[in-house]
Structure 1
Amino acid sequence: MYRFLLLLTLGATFGLQSWRILFDNFSVQVIGLDGSHVGAIQSIREIPGFLALLVVYVTLFLKEHRIASLSVIILGIGVCVTGWFPSFWGLALTTLAMSFGFHYFETVNQSLTLQYFDRDTAPLVLGKLRSFGAATAIFASVLFFCAAPFLSFEGMYILSGAAIVALGIYSLVGDPTHSDAVPQRKKAIFRKRYWLFYFLTFMAGARRQIFVAFSVFLMVQRFGFSIQEIAVLFLFNNLVNYFLSPFIGKAIVRFGERRILSLEYLSLIFIFIAYAFAESRVLVAALYILDHIFFNFAIAIRTFFQKVADPRDIAPSMAAGFTINHIAAVVLPFIGGLLWVVDYRIPFIGGAVMACVSLAAVQRIPAELRRYQADMATGSGQ
């Protein structure tokens, strides 16, 4: 299962990284979009995440590992055809296809990881997968840096998308599952006792959209970063995360979810405020790297859930979590895009406020999770 998830994580990461490296420059230089257009497309991109709950019903017909492979294939197709439709609606539709593939893969990826690895191993596996994902992103950054002077946007999209589709097809061979896995409930569930997981997931999705939708757009529109400069930034960013991600998993095991998440949100308050008032290209690039490092700390939300959840609830709860994560994500980039037109600082100040709220919420995670697990086992909340 680890090798299977690693293979598809490499494909999904390469697809998302390809889309992200090319998106802002393709939007501005080829299509001529402004902040409101980009915000609208970013909102459209999150619709599949909002519909991730439907994965539960897909499992009635397909096993989760098959869904993972097919999702990566769909992701690759979305990336492959993006350059053929250089318009607002063309980019919106191809983004929607790419996003369905990515979000449905991530839903079953998280579910399978928490099902097949125990509570002490899961943070380490998640950290390693992030690390290898960063290595794949490094490869993508080098690839596009070298290819940009010689290939059109259309050519870069076709080559990267075709490679992802081929990898997804290859992963359809074989069955990585085993009979020891706990059978999962094949219906949507929402339980009162998981409220803190739901809330933290919602806030993580809201704050992440500020980072995804506007950090690179800030660099391209306000500071004039070229596609090669963005590729170099992504390269350095992922090089840092390649080495740090495994240590994040180890830190969660050693220090616990509450301390790790507290550090994340306390840091994000200052990072978002700095985004709003940065006047230096070097500073805004450094903020992007720091932002991405602390984003990896969010795996502690899922490991917290694994420690307090009924093992049979993992698959439907990961799907529910993805939907909750994207409630704000569907509308926030669009609203943020409109606010950007008024003043580009407003979305980042909003991100700092969200980080404050999240920091307060993570203090509700018990310092001693074993005692909390015992309370949950007694049925103190449904």
Structure 2
Amino acid sequence: MKHGAKSWQTPQNFLLLISIIVPVAFSSWMALLNNFVVERANFDGADIGLLQSVREIPGFLAFTVVFVLLFIREQRFMLVSLFLLGMGTFLTGFFPSLTGLLVTTLIMSTGFHYFETLKQSLSLQWLSKQEAPEMLGKMISVGALASLITYGALWVMLEKLKLDYIYIYAITGGVAMVLVGVMAVSFPQFQTKTTQSKKLVLRKRYWLYYALTFMSGARRQIFTVFAGFLMVEHFGYSAADITLLFLINYAFNFLFAKRIGRFIGVVGERRALMFEYTGLIVVFLGYAFVENAHLAAGLYVIDHLFFALALAVKTYFQKIADPSDMASTAGVSFTINHIAAIIIPVTFGVIWLSSPGLVFIIGAVMAGVSLILSLNVPRKPASGNEVRVLNWG
């Protein structure tokens, strides 16, 4: 702990409290987006497709974080990124046009993706290998609770107070910016034990981590884009129904994410990932053939819960990596993760037009590929013991 810091001013508490801010701004932005762009900006399908593509650009460019670190420390950069996220959300309601939304979305998304990259880097630097799994799970739980409260507040502002979108976006974005200011003055600058590399790092010995990260991005797109769309198009779920599903998802994350993190710490990354991908094969095949709306909702909740098990990919990397590679590789991994975000929505969208079930069958095959990759994770990963076979040095 830094000299003169109070007992609560720890890196762990900083990470926990900082996990509250993103749900306040980003959950609000996402929850209101579809209604806002249709009712205020008169968007059609092409417009929303363009907006979502622009939203993913900062994630694809996340590797540039290492160049910005030449000029600003990671912790301070994280706070600046969060402020951009809040500011983008704050401004959204004031510019209900295609051009305005493209600009505000780019501001919001740049802050969001840089923050997520830096959070991964600093978490793996500040947390010990023993405490990381449970602590990362606890951060998901805290974020889930903040999301639950945010969704509740949004419902009150929309249904009871009848506030216009411009005020809701301004309130949630403004609250996020105020919280960033509070965090900036409440916590000291924490020191990291290892100086981070200020250049892009791509190492052959990290190949399995890169492969698992890419497949994780592909799985995320199938859930985000197509699982929710299945609920609406095939089963006729209303906006209120989808909102309820999100509330259930976040409630489960709040209750179980910390336990899942502890579970990973006990059984190890290899078994946790094998369990996740085996479960995903079942879930995706379920999506492909399910005809019962309630069963589909159950699959949706289980699917979302599996996201917490993806922490095992991060803790696997923490155990095999050079400590100086955390910041650079966090940026590279976000870029790798978002390659799928560019490819899958477009290509799988074409497949969807002729066979929605085929989208999820391909998803099951992709989960099978991930399962095969997870078999190559050693029981006790470490530098020099990155994989069971094909260690390219």
Q: Structures share a fold, TM > 0.5?
A: yes
Amino acid at match of 2:258: P
Distance in 2 between the 1:157 and 1:215 partners? 27
Q: Gaps (5+ residues) in structure 1?
A: none
Cα contact 2:215–2:370 (8 A) shared by 1: yes
The aligned residue for residue 158 of structure 1 is 170
Give yes or no for the alignment of 1:192 onto 2:199: no
Deviates more, 1:207-216 or 1:29-38: 29-38
Change (3 A) 1:94 1:283: farther
The aligned residue for residue 8 of structure 2 is none
Deviates more, 1:82-91 or 1:54-63: 82-91
* CA deviation after TM superposition for structure 1 residue 290, in Å: 1.0
Amino acid at match of 2:304: H
Amino acid at match of 1:258: R
Give yes or no for the alignment of 1:140 onto 2:142: no
Q: Gaps (5+ residues) in structure 2?
A: 1-10
* CA deviation after TM superposition for structure 1 residue 207, in Å: 1.3
Cα contact 1:184–1:312 (8 A) shared by 2: yes
Give yes or no for the alignment of 1:12 onto 2:28: no
Distance in 2 between the 1:90 and 1:273 partners? 40
* CA deviation after TM superposition for structure 1 residue 206, in Å: 1.4
SS at match of 1:84: coil
Change (3 A) 1:243 1:48: same
Distance in 1 between the 2:190 and 2:104 partners? 36
Q: Deviations over 1:286-333 (max 9, x none)?
A: 222111100111110010011111111111111111111111212322
Alignment of 1:178-189 (within 5 A): 178-179=190-191, 181-189=193-201
Alignment of 1:225-244 (within 5 A): 225-244=237-256
The aligned residue for residue 77 of structure 1 is 87
Of residues 267, 284, 287, the one that matches 2:296 is 284
Of residues 335, 346, 370, the one that matches 1:358 is 370
Change (3 A) 1:136 1:279: same
The aligned residue for residue 217 of structure 2 is 205
* CA deviation after TM superposition for structure 1 residue 144, in Å: 1.9
Q: Deviations over 1:268-287 (max 9, x none)?
A: 12222323344443233222
Deviates more, 1:239-248 or 1:24-33: 24-33
Change (3 A) 1:283 1:289: same
TM-score by length of 2: 0.88
Amino acid at match of 1:336: F
* CA deviation after TM superposition for structure 1 residue 123, in Å: 0.9
Amino acid at match of 1:318: A
Distance in 1 between the 2:32 and 2:101 partners? 12
Give yes or no for the alignment of 1:214 onto 2:226: yes
* CA deviation after TM superposition for structure 1 residue 3, in Å: 2.0
Q: Between Structure 1 and Structure 2, how many residues are aligned?
A: 378
Distance in 2 between the 1:28 and 1:353 partners? 35
SS at match of 1:365: coil
Q: Deviations over 1:142-200 (max 9, x none)?
A: 11222222223333222211111211222222554444521111111100000000110
* CA deviation after TM superposition for structure 1 residue 217, in Å: 3.4
Cα contact 1:37–1:337 (8 A) shared by 2: no
TM-score by length of 1: 0.90
Give yes or no for the alignment of 1:245 onto 2:277: no
Distance in 1 between the 2:38 and 2:230 partners? 12
Amino acid at match of 2:331: A
Task: Say what the alpha-carbon RMSD is for the aligned residues.
Answer: 2.4
* CA deviation after TM superposition for structure 1 residue 31, in Å: 5.2
Deviates more, 1:151-160 or 1:100-109: 151-160
